[in-house]
Structure 1
Amino acid sequence: MLQAIGLTSAPRPDLPPVVDDLTFEARPGQLTALLGAPGSGRTTALRLMLELEPGRGVTYFRGRPLHALAHPTREVGTLLGDVPGHPARTVRGQLKLMCTVAGVPVSRAEEMLEVVGLSGLADQRLGTLSLGMDRRLGLAAALLGDPHTLLLDEPAEGLSPRENAWLHGLLRGHAEHGGTVLCTFADPKEAARVADRVVTIDGGRLVADQDVTEFARTRLRPRVAVATPHAARLAALVNREARAAQRSVEVVAEDGSHLSVYGSSTAEVGETAFRNGVLLHRLADEVGDAGPSVHVPPEERPAPPRSSHPLPITLAAPRTPLRPLRYELRRLLGVRTTFLLAAGVLAVSAVLSVLLARAGHAPPSRLLSAWPGLLPLPPAALGAGLFGALAFGDEYRYPALAADRGTVPRRLGLLLAKLVVSAGAALVLAALAALLDHQALRLVYGGPVAGPAREWPALAASWAGLTVGCAWAGLLAAGIFRATSAGLAAVLAVPVVVVPLLRKAVEGHTVRSVAGLPDRLRDLARVRWPHALDHWLVAVLRLIAEPVGAALTLSLTVLICAYLLTGLRARARW
């Protein structure tokens, strides 16, 4: 059972709250309609229930508020608007990605595709889906965790009658299996046709909480729908004959050629039109909305339980994937952008390496990294930085975890997964770039490209550190500023801004050698590690001592502190 008690949205300057002390229940085994005109507070009420809006009140899902649920996606399924997925991701890929968020087996994705009738479109891109197919995918995502409660905001809006009938059948089936279904509606006739119980709100306040039979009796009434080019004349004739016969008839002009006649019948209206020679284009019996004039008296309204001290709504922390590493791998490899970007970086790197060798006088390290002096960074390092920036930037643009909040979770598990995956992608890109550049040089000019063997460990460490550092700088900056462009700008700022500043800061100072440092560290720590690791330790220290390495280290330190600070501030707001 869903129990909403005293829901009140945050106050607005000089305006009443959008939702004001709203209390009602949605029972299991029933489809409950939350009915209201546009602007009545329906969507805000749902967001208050899901702890996405600040305010007061509490909502219990089978006796527990949302923030107290260990796995919310397994208790509550939501559909608020369109599916916020990357348009290049496939339907199957999107559902498998959401399986890692909900912590359910990926086989559940195939089951849901069958349930919502999307098996034949599993490999279609999200950007090509129609509104009806997008709504089916949203329902599949909401049902992945097999939730007891479904909260849906205008799920049938814009759908065809066939899609509408399918949707209502699916929701009815969920309710008949003991689930709780709460949907918002703007059309009273649709609510009366679909729901078991109707909760009507107006101006954010409860107007009525009724069984659908009682709702139809008090809110809906029969009418005669008329279409005629002489609407004003026919309205006057119907009113005159009703007064003469002392009958209560109401004629409402819908527009220039349509009338709604209440308190009469198609036979009476048709006879009036025939006797007076009025041409009719349409004459039909319908069930019409009584409109806002039908008002439930205060004494007939349900008496909600009230609290003298309404609880402030505790904003739930954004969802985080229960399997973060698997989620991040699916996010990275689930779109073509990753592979196209990697292919473009490798092609540019190979071409630059060949051109750089043709110019001559470039050391092997510059040739294999394709790093001419004109570029602030080699292509592989820029590509790694862009991969890192996309790790958060794409989620803010196409959120998979927090579609209805507009922010991306900053929990430690997800951050670590992103750091590990972006570092792995950077190392793979760096290794492929060096290997492809080497093969391109051998193919064009012949002969191996090599330097002193003792320098290769230091060069490898430097190359790996540069690409991983760029990837992490892009990732952290995109997470802080919530944009891919900000992440890429942070990567470019290292060689363009930070390196010149560091060089100027140390200009004129003597640079001391780190020779013998491993032995001194070994004596200080009293730990005996193999002497074979000394070369790698010295290589890392020299990398940090280099201007680019020092700038990357400094930039990463600043970004990590800023990331933690913004994460703590966001958690304090929640």
Structure 2
Amino acid sequence: MLQAIGLTSTPRRDLAPAVDDLTFEAGSGQVTALLGDPDSGKTTALRLMLELEPGRGVTCFRGRPLHRIANPAREVGTLLGDVPGHPARTARGQLRMLCAAAGVPASRADDLLEVVGLAGLGGQRIGTLSLGMDRRLGLAVALLADPHTLLLDAPAEGLSPRENSWLHGLLRGHAAQGGTVLYTTRDPKEAARTADRIVTIDAGRLVADQDAAEFARTRLRPRVAVRTPHTTRLGALIARESREARRSVEVVPEGGSLLSVYGSSCAEIGDTAFRHGVLLHQLADETGPAPAPRATEAPAAPEARAESAAPPLARHPARGPLRPVRYELRRLLGVRTTPLIAAAVLVTSAVISLLLARTGHTPPPRLLAAWPRYLPLPPAAFGAGLLGALAFGDEFRYPALAAGRGTVPRRLGLLAAKLGVSATAALILAALAVVTDAQVLRTVYGGDLAAVPTDWPMLCVSWGALVVGCSWAGLLAAGVFRSTSAGLAAVLAVPVLVVPLLQKVFAGPSARTVEGLPGRLRELPWISWPYQSDRWLTGLLRLLAEPVGAALALSLSGLLCAYLFTGLRGRARW
């Protein structure tokens, strides 16, 4: 059972709240429709229930609020609008990746594709799916972890009658197994035909909470809509003539210049108005719910009146994937973006290496890295930063990549998985770039230019630290600022802004240096240093003493602190 109590969204500037003191229930084993006109607050109400929108109120799923459920995906399945996913990812790849996020076997993806009628289209890319197929895939995402409750925002919007019938048949089957189904719609006839209970809202407030039979009997009666500046006079005339003719006619003022007349016809009302000289602006037969009363006149449940008793509802970050490494690998390798970036980096690196070798003035390490002095970063480091920025940037652009509830997770386990996978991808890309450059130089100019330097271990360490640092800088910046562009900007800011700033800070004379630090550390009696540790420590200090190395270390420290601060601040509101 779903219980929504006192849901109230945060008021917008100079506007009333989109949802105001909304209270209702959706029972287990039932299909409940949340009915309302566009901009009536239906979508905001769902987002408040899922704790994706700041406001006040409580929503309990079988007695527990969502942030107290250990695995929300197994309790609530959602579909908010279109399926947000990378358009180049296949339907099967999208579901398999979300299986890792929900902690269910990957075979569940093929089972769900068959359930929703997409068994033969698992290899089709999301960007090429029709509206009906997109809705089917969205329903598969909602059902992925076999949740008890389904929250669907306008799932039948734009579907053909046949697809609409299939959709509601599937929802009815889920409810028949004891599940709870709540979906939004603006079509009263669809609600009366497909739902067991209908909750009607207007301007974010509850108008009616009825079962389908009562809704059809009281709010789907045929009526005549009449607009006239003389509503009181015309209503009295219609009521008097119906009494004289001994007919049952009901006249309901709807506010303003509108009357709803039940039990009569356009012809009869038109004749009455003509005989008495009453001006008419509209006269039309209608079937459907009458216009809802104004929000100030809407009834409210007793428990919803005590707004002070409803706790504030803050926006909570969703929990991370239950299998973060598997999720991250499928996210990285499930689209063509990764191999395209790698191919572009290798081609660019080879071309730059050939041009640098032609001049004959570039040192061998910079030649193999394809890093001319006029470029802020070599192609491999920039490509690694781009892959790192996409690790979080894609999720903010396509929220369903992160979790079924549509927000990006902040769990430290997912961060560790992203850091590990992005570092591995950066090192592979850096190694491929060096090998490709060496092979191209050997083929074009001979083997002298591709000779291995004597200090290759330290060069490998510094090269790997550069590409991994760029990858992590892009990843953390995209996570903090929620944008791939921000991640790329952070990568480029290291050599363009941070390095010159550090050079200016340390440009002055120094009276003290750290020269000889490894030897002094070895003299400490309580520390046992392994063999040749001072050599590696000296190399590390030299690496950090380089402008780019110091700038990367400083940037990564600041971005990591900012990331942890934003993540833990979200957790504190739990």
TM-score (normalised: structure 2): 0.85
Shift of 1:397: 1.6
1:247-276 per-residue CA deviation (whole Å, 9 max, x = no partner) reads 56799xxxxxxxx9964799x99xx9xxxx
> In 2, Cα distance between the equivalents of 1:62 and 1:554?
48
Match of 1:235 in 2: none
1:10-64 per-residue CA deviation (whole Å, 9 max, x = no partner) reads 2345544332222221111110111122222222221221122222221111111
* Alignment check: 8 A CA contact 1:66 1:316 kept: no
Match of 1:485 in 2: 485
Shift of 1:495: 1.7
Shift of 1:499: 2.0
- Matched residue SS, 2:523: helix
State the percentage of identical aligned residues. 71
Distance 1:320 1:122, change over 3 A: same
- Matched residue SS, 1:346: helix
Corresponding letter in the other structure for 2:458: A
Match of 1:495 in 2: 495
> In 1, Cα distance between the equivalents of 2:566 and 2:451?
45
Shift of 1:206: 2.0
* Alignment check: 8 A CA contact 2:385 2:472 kept: yes
> In 1, Cα distance between the equivalents of 2:327 and 2:145?
16
Match of 2:39 in 1: 39
Shift of 1:294: 8.9
Gaps of 5+ in 1: 226-240, 252-259, 273-285
1:79-478 equivalences in 2 (<5 Å): 79-222=79-222, 263=263, 288-292=287-291, 307=306, 309-401=309-401, 408-449=408-449, 454-478=454-478
1:172-207 per-residue CA deviation (whole Å, 9 max, x = no partner) reads 000011111111121111100001111122232222
Corresponding letter in the other structure for 1:521: L
> In 2, Cα distance between the equivalents of 1:311 and 1:300?
21
* Alignment check: 8 A CA contact 2:3 2:60 kept: yes
| Greater Cα offset, 489-498 or 131-140 | 489-498
Match of 2:282 in 1: none
Shift of 1:113: 0.7
> In 1, Cα distance between the equivalents of 2:469 and 2:370?
18
- Matched residue SS, 2:20: coil
> In 1, Cα distance between the equivalents of 2:289 and 2:412?
54
Match of 1:275 in 2: none
Corresponding letter in the other structure for 1:416: A
- Matched residue SS, 1:524: coil
Distance 1:328 1:221, change over 3 A: same
Shift of 1:532: 4.4
> In 2, Cα distance between the equivalents of 1:99 and 1:207?
39
* Alignment check: 8 A CA contact 1:67 1:314 kept: no
- Matched residue SS, 1:86: coil
* Alignment check: 8 A CA contact 1:74 1:146 kept: yes
Corresponding letter in the other structure for 1:4: A
- 1:559 lines up with 2:559 in the alignment: yes
| Greater Cα offset, 514-523 or 536-545 | 514-523
Corresponding letter in the other structure for 2:430: A
> In 2, Cα distance between the equivalents of 1:525 and 1:339?
51
Match of 1:544 in 2: 544
Corresponding letter in the other structure for 1:561: C
1:120-178 per-residue CA deviation (whole Å, 9 max, x = no partner) reads 11111111111111111111111111000111111111111111111001100000111
> In 2, Cα distance between the equivalents of 1:318 and 1:537?
41
- Matched residue SS, 1:371: coil
- Matched residue SS, 1:171: helix
* Alignment check: 8 A CA contact 2:2 2:59 kept: yes
Distance 1:290 1:498, change over 3 A: closer
TM-score (normalised: structure 1): 0.85
- Matched residue SS, 1:400: helix
Distance 1:293 1:249, change over 3 A: farther
Match of 2:68 in 1: 68
* Alignment check: 8 A CA contact 1:84 1:403 kept: no
Shift of 1:556: 1.6
Distance 1:309 1:444, change over 3 A: same
Distance 1:514 1:429, change over 3 A: farther
- Matched residue SS, 1:492: helix
Match of 2:237 in 1: none
- Matched residue SS, 2:208: strand
> In 2, Cα distance between the equivalents of 1:120 and 1:223?
48
Corresponding letter in the other structure for 2:11: P
1:294-319 per-residue CA deviation (whole Å, 9 max, x = no partner) reads 99xx9999766765622222543323
* Alignment check: 8 A CA contact 1:6 1:22 kept: yes
> In 1, Cα distance between the equivalents of 2:446 and 2:73?
59
Match of 1:25 in 2: 25
| Greater Cα offset, 375-384 or 537-546 | 537-546
* Alignment check: 8 A CA contact 1:458 1:535 kept: no
1:468-518 per-residue CA deviation (whole Å, 9 max, x = no partner) reads 111111112222222222221222222222222323333353699877544
> In 1, Cα distance between the equivalents of 2:215 and 2:569?
47
* Alignment check: 8 A CA contact 1:401 1:409 kept: no
Shift of 1:208: 1.9
> In 1, Cα distance between the equivalents of 2:124 and 2:31?
32
- Matched residue SS, 2:60: strand
* Alignment check: 8 A CA contact 1:396 1:406 kept: no
Match of 2:235 in 1: none
> In 2, Cα distance between the equivalents of 1:452 and 1:116?
57
Distance 1:287 1:212, change over 3 A: farther
Match of 2:228 in 1: none
Corresponding letter in the other structure for 1:365: P
Corresponding letter in the other structure for 1:76: V
> In 2, Cα distance between the equivalents of 1:496 and 1:125?
39
| Count of matched residue pairs | 536
> In 2, Cα distance between the equivalents of 1:545 and 1:456?
19
- Matched residue SS, 2:77: strand
> In 2, Cα distance between the equivalents of 1:146 and 1:76?
9
| C-alpha RMSD of matched pairs (Å) | 3.4
* Alignment check: 8 A CA contact 2:3 2:25 kept: yes
> In 2, Cα distance between the equivalents of 1:409 and 1:418?
12
Shift of 1:9: 2.3
1:218-258 per-residue CA deviation (whole Å, 9 max, x = no partner) reads 11124799xxxxxxxxxxxxxxx99997756799xxxxxxx
* Alignment check: 8 A CA contact 1:97 1:331 kept: yes
* Alignment check: 8 A CA contact 2:321 2:403 kept: no
* Alignment check: 8 A CA contact 2:317 2:410 kept: no
1:533-563 per-residue CA deviation (whole Å, 9 max, x = no partner) reads 5443332221111121112112222222333
